[in-house]
Structure 1
């Protein structure tokens, strides 16, 4: 199958003087022409390592634009790019490396000591430069490879056990990018500021690659700082940016946010976890466009689009499926659901992954012909707008009633006493499961369980109101900042 592995080089010829990438830490900038030279350098450096088509190139490094250059270099030569989560333990990293068996590991000075304990054959330091070598006039010998072959393997981690390597082909990555450009209206005038980790699809595929395909600018930060993020958005005249809700919680509490009007921003995007309505309200007060998205590593991650004006009336909705994405909500009998009926979300499209690396069983479990069974529960309203209700495995059955934790969590987080909330079902002889809320407080001294129960009863049916509240200083998180509900079981009352 035809595969255009050279689209970045073509884009660079169209807009050679446009800024492609900016590194926040150093302030270094690369035009598209300069970034092409950086890609050429990495093609040369990797060729010196005697790699062959299909070899895995693992990356263990902090966020930096050069990681994107390595990604494109891998794409031109048919190597498979495998970014590693540097927040993982030595045991977890060892499991991943044993699974993918990389031919080489690229790192930076931050992780030089760690890598000597890892099972890798060769190592290369990103920060060690090739002195006295220019690549401006170098040509690239592209290794032709099918569009269905993997370009990257991204390991998903967190709440479902051992990490699985999601294979994303050239087709998957490119169709997600094209779909995002068309559905979200991106162009070479767009600029994004991102602190999303480049070892996750949110950092790579949500905006960075689509914006580079469109000819825009990607500004990359290493360690997130709420004040700095806002200052960079203003300084770089960013038009679109994606952050997770925990980042927005920090950003909206800064004086910099309160005193800024963000004249160039077309939209702020939230993803990675359900967004509390209180964050929507912070942006509404300032008249700033804000909306929520939904995605997963196995599909895109971009799947939906919602008009910013519709958000005012449909908080929590992710909108309609994007132009080249098919979506379906199915019942337990695998039949399409009725309007506003909750079922499992299935997704189909050329952006859907090709399978888990060396894991046919897990792949078969989530695929139904061309459809990806996401494991997420959703509903669709009469106007065709989708709402993500929660994880299928998180649904609580109490006294024969289905309860969706996300609805209760949204209710709890509206109360001024609550900083964070997570709801799970705990086994109970009488009810089967009882609704149990784990909460962290804004002001522990002012906590009143009665007030909280009264608040819940105002918005929720009686069977949905938590039967128990467990107060914790902070809710446990996964490596990507999501609340880890598995660990809540160890905190149960």
Structure 2
């Protein structure tokens, strides 16, 4: 039965020989026709194992073409795709598996030792499901594709606020995110997108990957991030658009080779996951390269805003205006809309929102209010309707009755010539309630001191925003999904006292 969810079959029909996937490590290619045939064969294999509509299929693999083969196979059956974060410990993964209740766990041979420590009714290596050269489908049966309201995938959050929550995205969530993205970023079949974020979370799967494929473009997959390797792949594969997180851009512009690169095929560099330092904006602006920031979260899209290139140049740090089929509010503590220039919580509504948290109705009810998602993030909009992300609501520091937003302080500290990275947190303080505290990774050869940093900040920040405590570190701790672990940094300040 035809439904909007069967668009891979449509892509195979429209342009069978168009390259859908490229392995950026080996150069191996997969056309839309081959991707479709592989997914049909994989769906048949899963069906023979007893997988049917509504069943969960867990998936453990590095960035690989097989991720998309498995996703489209699950879509064909109406099964629910559950990609797993291989950076987690066996104990953490088993907790997720217990919650998701998959019928089968598929694993890449590189993950064999980790898979052996996991518990699932059936554990199957991927090469049985998806051989490199599948035969032509014989007697291919017509697919009964799921509807847009049916669950497509469960993505588990990183768990930095406690037990990981399973975010249920429907096929409609993915479809409307793709439509918004294709229209807003003007994706076409000529685009060649670099995918270097992990494909076990929404940044890797849904920001660019599935929208580019739905548009008929080509996805270039990289398994491991290395700045020089990324630049080589962009040039060799003639990439036109790329998404990276600020940490990746930080490493990219630090490479000695960045200065010599012109990236002639690139029309867009996109950043997401956290506010991007101004020095990154400047590095790309100095080359005349378009650079835009976005904002999203697993529960919403993740794509929500679009910035036109001229606005991105004039207003570094803005995420722009809501995409065509999204609505966004900035809501004050009393539940009313905040005026322009005032900070409030970001609320989002649209067809791209998640459906619910798996097995967690209480958390669902807390997050969804009359169709609006309460993001827990703070933002503001200016008089021209452009939005800015200020930080997490729970990360806001209240010191002596004044509100301090870590992102603002981090941006100013990051401009110090001897600072490599910085994170600002609110440490408990008997006098102020909370004290602004900064964890700083200095650049090599730096002689920067806490007092030296505070001296630099005087005149650049209000006195109450200047860190009362500064901790110098060789590197910042990270969560299993690669984000800065603010809780671990806060614990260091608490232990220090």
Q: When the two structures are superposed, what TM-score results if normalisation uses the length of structure 1?
A: 0.97
Residue 410 of structure 1 corresponds to 411
Residue 17 of structure 1 corresponds to 17
Describe how 1:73-472 pairs up with structure 2 within 5 A.
Answer: 73-128=73-128, 134-136=135-137, 138-443=139-444, 445-472=446-473
Separation in 2, partners of 1:140, 1:378? 50
Q: 1:278 to 1:131 in 2, by over 3 A?
A: closer
Following TM superposition, by how much is the alpha carbon of 1:267 offset from its aligned partner in structure 2, in angstroms? 0.7
Q: 1:256 to 1:69 in 2, by over 3 A?
A: same
Separation in 2, partners of 1:135, 1:67? 20
Separation in 2, partners of 1:451, 1:334? 42
Is the contact made by 2:427 and 2:434 (CA closer than 8 Å) also made in structure 1?
yes
Separation in 1, partners of 2:235, 2:470? 41
Separation in 2, partners of 1:444, 1:488? 23
Residue 27 of structure 1 corresponds to 27
Separation in 2, partners of 1:435, 1:83? 37
Separation in 2, partners of 1:259, 1:454? 35
Higher deviation after alignment, 86-95 or 481-490: 481-490
Separation in 2, partners of 1:429, 1:74? 54
Following TM superposition, by how much is the alpha carbon of 1:132 offset from its aligned partner in structure 2, in angstroms? 8.7
Is the contact made by 1:2 and 1:146 (CA closer than 8 Å) also made in structure 2?
no
Separation in 2, partners of 1:229, 1:150? 34
Following TM superposition, by how much is the alpha carbon of 1:55 offset from its aligned partner in structure 2, in angstroms? 0.5
Q: Any idea what the Cα deviations from partners look like across 1:213-248, whole Å, max 9, x if unmatched?
A: 000000101111111111111111111100111111
Q: 1:333 to 1:217 in 2, by over 3 A?
A: same
Is the contact made by 1:158 and 1:484 (CA closer than 8 Å) also made in structure 2?
no
Is the contact made by 1:343 and 1:378 (CA closer than 8 Å) also made in structure 2?
yes
Is the contact made by 1:17 and 1:33 (CA closer than 8 Å) also made in structure 2?
yes
Higher deviation after alignment, 300-309 or 426-435: 426-435
Q: Any idea what the Cα deviations from partners look like across 1:363-413, whole Å, max 9, x if unmatched?
A: 111111100000000000000000000000000111111110110011111
Q: Any idea what the Cα deviations from partners look like across 1:109-144, whole Å, max 9, x if unmatched?
A: 112122222110112211345599612555243234
Separation in 2, partners of 1:346, 1:442? 38
Separation in 2, partners of 1:198, 1:34? 20
Is the contact made by 1:40 and 1:140 (CA closer than 8 Å) also made in structure 2?
no
Q: Any idea what the Cα deviations from partners look like across 1:123-173, whole Å, max 9, x if unmatched?
A: 221134559961255524323433212100000114211111000001000
Separation in 2, partners of 1:176, 1:238? 22
Higher deviation after alignment, 315-324 or 118-127: 118-127
Higher deviation after alignment, 168-177 or 467-476: 467-476
Q: Any idea what the Cα deviations from partners look like across 1:418-476, whole Å, max 9, x if unmatched?
A: 11111111122221111111111113651133331122222211111111111121111
Separation in 1, partners of 2:131, 2:413? 55
Is the contact made by 1:305 and 1:320 (CA closer than 8 Å) also made in structure 2?
yes
Question: Secondary structure in 2 aligned to 1:5?
Answer: helix
Higher deviation after alignment, 369-378 or 447-456: 447-456
Is the contact made by 1:23 and 1:29 (CA closer than 8 Å) also made in structure 2?
yes
Separation in 2, partners of 1:243, 1:144? 32
Q: 1:197 to 1:345 in 2, by over 3 A?
A: same
Is the contact made by 2:57 and 2:103 (CA closer than 8 Å) also made in structure 1?
yes
Separation in 2, partners of 1:249, 1:230? 14
Following TM superposition, by how much is the alpha carbon of 1:332 offset from its aligned partner in structure 2, in angstroms? 0.5
Higher deviation after alignment, 23-32 or 395-404: 23-32
Q: 1:291 to 1:205 in 2, by over 3 A?
A: same
Following TM superposition, by how much is the alpha carbon of 1:35 offset from its aligned partner in structure 2, in angstroms? 1.3
Separation in 2, partners of 1:159, 1:8? 35
Separation in 1, partners of 2:450, 2:400? 23
Following TM superposition, by how much is the alpha carbon of 1:3 offset from its aligned partner in structure 2, in angstroms? 4.3
Separation in 1, partners of 2:76, 2:196? 26
Separation in 1, partners of 2:470, 2:3? 54
Q: Any idea what the Cα deviations from partners look like across 1:27-58, whole Å, max 9, x if unmatched?
A: 21011111111111211221221112111000
Consecutive unaligned residues of structure 2, counting only runs of 5 or more, are none
Question: Secondary structure in 2 aligned to 1:145?
Answer: coil
Separation in 2, partners of 1:127, 1:90? 22
Q: Any idea what the Cα deviations from partners look like across 1:187-229, whole Å, max 9, x if unmatched?
A: 1111111111110101110000000000000010111111111
The aligned length equals 493
